[in-house]
């Protein structure tokens, strides 16, 4: 196994050269996924294209991995340390790849192929994981439960954004659905005979709006009405809404959910309707960015001519099931600039950038930076020791 210094840098040079050699294939893969957006757990084409690509480059690919039809695991070797490179590829309803998951997918696949080119000399092993349903489905949470990250020493991915950042402000999130059940009646002839389920939901919505004045700046509650009744002249007997509750940590999330539930209860008490609340999907955790691993990534990214911005992370806030992975092993989720800082994720404009020349550069730079960082993990025992120590310190820190 090469030590630090010239041998390691030589392996990085070879890895980046392999990304350049794969340029046409990687950009075509990114463009094809972008042009055919698929929603969470329905990413059959994207998962298949990625699996085909990795299989054609020598990986042993398990399709439908960990009980999920659109997940895959592409493996090389069995030795430790083991690096996992993660791909995401689901899209958003109505606005396609407005989160740039096509770039995440192609960059992750490219990093895997580049690392595979030097794995015989670095030692260790490699797995490229296709992780479906990041946009609300919690694919990584399910995969983790099924053992996808057992015996993995580092997990890495990049995410496109408007800035080059080592980390984003990852908030813990829970999706909850609330339903109100009332009694239908003719809204003109006998309104007194009805119990208005929509009134219960609207009251709760308004109380949540008041709650927002008295929660932490890092906390969020937002929602939509998914069922408001059938006709204006019928007192709605059923109403439903979907809400996201976010907080800086899982502990704070649990406390905020209790306050939001009190708002739902207030709507029921005020309207006379009955209510029920259900969790939707998996809770996403906040994220522990492994700082030694992130520092290695930053050094590699800057070798590619990019400059990491030391910006307040609240400028890019969101939630990801990569947070759950970070509670299991040393992990990073850096942001890679493919658009101007003013362009927000989850917009049509960002979707256009994800298919632009800037997006193409993101695919190649992301693949190279991840591959170089993988070389560091596999070749530098001191880095691996520092990563493990930092992770252990996070686990031992008091809950907030």
Can you state the percent helix, strand and coil of the chain, rounding each to 5? 45, 20, 35
Q: Identify whether residues 335 and 245 lie together within a single domain.
A: no
Q: Kindly report the pTM of this predicted structure.
A: 0.92
* CATH code (residue 195): 3.30.70.360
Q: Identify whether residues 144 and 164 lie together within a single domain.
A: yes
**Interacting residues of 139 by C-beta distance below 8 A, sequence separation 6+:** 40, 41, 68, 70, 71, 90, 131, 132, 133, 321
**Interacting residues of 284 by C-beta distance below 8 A, sequence separation 6+:** 138, 141, 172, 173, 174, 319, 320, 321, 323, 324
Q: What is the residue-level pLDDT of the chain in tens, covering all 400 positions?
A: 444 578 999 999 999 999 999 999 999 999 999 999 999 999 999 999 999 999 999 999 999 999 999 999 999 999 999 999 999 999 999 999 999 999 999 999 999 999 999 999 999 999 999 999 999 899 999 999 999 999 999 999 999 999 999 998 899 999 999 999 999 999 999 999 999 999 999 999 999 999 999 999 999 999 999 999 999 999 999 999 999 999 999 999 999 999 999 999 999 999 999 999 999 999 999 999 999 999 999 999 999 999 998 765 555 678 999 999 999 999 999 999 999 999 999 999 999 999 999 999 999 999 999 999 999 999 999 999 999 999 999 999 887 7
The span from the first CA to the last CA of the chain, in angstroms, equals: 41
Environment class of 238 (CB within 10 Å of its CB; exposed 0-12, middle 13-18, buried 19+):
middle
Q: How many residues does the chain have?
A: 400
Q: Identify whether residues 263 and 160 lie together within a single domain.
A: no
CA 50 from centroid of its chain's CA atoms: 18
Domain boundary among 216, 251, 284: 284
What residue numbers bound the domain in which 190 lies? 172-284
The H or E element spanning position 107 is helix 101-116
Instruction: Transcribe 138-151 into DSSP letters.
Output: -HHHHHHHTTTTTT
The H or E element spanning position 301 is helix 291-303
Distance CA 389, CA 171 (A): 24
- Other Cβ atoms less than 10 A from the Cβ of 212: the count is 11
Q: Identify whether residues 186 and 138 lie together within a single domain.
A: no
Domain boundary among 260, 284, 308: 284
What are the CA-CA distances from residue 279 to residues 90, 205, 217 (Å)? 21, 17, 24
Cβ atoms of 328 and 394 within 8 Å: the answer is: no
Q: Identify whether residues 23 and 140 lie together within a single domain.
A: yes
Q: Identify whether residues 92 and 198 lie together within a single domain.
A: no
Q: Identify whether residues 247 and 343 lie together within a single domain.
A: no
Provide the domain count of the chain.
2
Environment class of 86 (CB within 10 Å of its CB; exposed 0-12, middle 13-18, buried 19+):
buried
Decide if 1 is inside a domain: no
Three-state DSSP class for residue 68 = coil
* CATH code (residue 336): 3.40.630.10
The residues pairing with 74 across neighbouring beta strands, listed in sequence order, are 61, 128
Q: Identify whether residues 345 and 200 lie together within a single domain.
A: no
Nearest in space to 338 (alpha carbons), one of 16, 111, 97: 97
The residues pairing with 181 across neighbouring beta strands, listed in sequence order, are 238, 274
């Amino acid at each position: 196994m090469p030590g630090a210094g010239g041998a390691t840098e030589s392996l990085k040079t070879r890895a980046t050269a392999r990304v350049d050699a794969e340029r046409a294939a990687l950009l075509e893969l990114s463009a094809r996924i972008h042009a055919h957006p698929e929603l969470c757990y329905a990413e059959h084409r994207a998962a298949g294209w990625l699996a085909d690509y990795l299989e054609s480059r020598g990986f042993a690919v398990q399709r439908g991995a960990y009980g999920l039809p659109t997940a895959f695991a592409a493996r090389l070797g069995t030795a430790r340390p083991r690096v996992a490179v993660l791909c995401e590829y689901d899209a958003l309803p109505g606005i396609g790849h407005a989160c740039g998951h096509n770039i995440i997918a192609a960059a992750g696949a490219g990093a895997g192929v580049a690392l595979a080119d030097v794995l015989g000399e670095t030692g260790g092993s490699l797995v490229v994981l296709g992780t479906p349903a990041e946009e609300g489905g919690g694919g990584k949470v399910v995969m983790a439960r099924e053992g996808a990250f057992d015996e993995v020493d580092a997990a890495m991915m990049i995410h496109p954004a408007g800035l080059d950042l080592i980390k984003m402000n990852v908030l813990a999130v829970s999706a909850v659905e609330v339903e109100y059940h009332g009694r239908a009646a003719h809204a003109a002839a006998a309104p007194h005979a009805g119990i208005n389920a929509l009134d219960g939901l609207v009251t709760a919505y308004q109380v949540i709006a008041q709650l927002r004045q008295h929660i932490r700046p890092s906390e969020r509650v937002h929602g939509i009405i998914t069922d408001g009744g059938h006709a204006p002249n019928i007192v709605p007997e059923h109403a439903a809404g979907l809400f996201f509750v976010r907080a800086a940590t899982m502990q704070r999330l649990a406390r905020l959910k209790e306050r939001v539930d009190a708002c739902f209860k207030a709507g029921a008490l005020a309207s006379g309707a009955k209510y029920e609340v259900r969790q939707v999907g998996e809770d996403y955790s906040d994220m522990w960015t492994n700082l030694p691993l992130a520092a290695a990534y930053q050094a590699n990214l800057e070798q590619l001519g990019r400059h990491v911005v030391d910006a307040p992370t609240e400028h890019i806030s969101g939630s990801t099931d990569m947070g759950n992975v970070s509670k299991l092993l040393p992990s990073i989720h850096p942001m890679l600039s493919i658009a101007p800082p003013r362009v927000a994720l989850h917009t049509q404009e960002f979707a256009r950038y994800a298919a632009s020349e800037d997006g193409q550069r993101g695919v190649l730079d992301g693949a190279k930076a991840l591959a170089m960082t993988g070389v560091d993990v596999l070749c530098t025992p001191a880095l691996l020791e520092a990563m493990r120590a930092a992770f252990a310190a996070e686990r031992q820190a008091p809950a907030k």
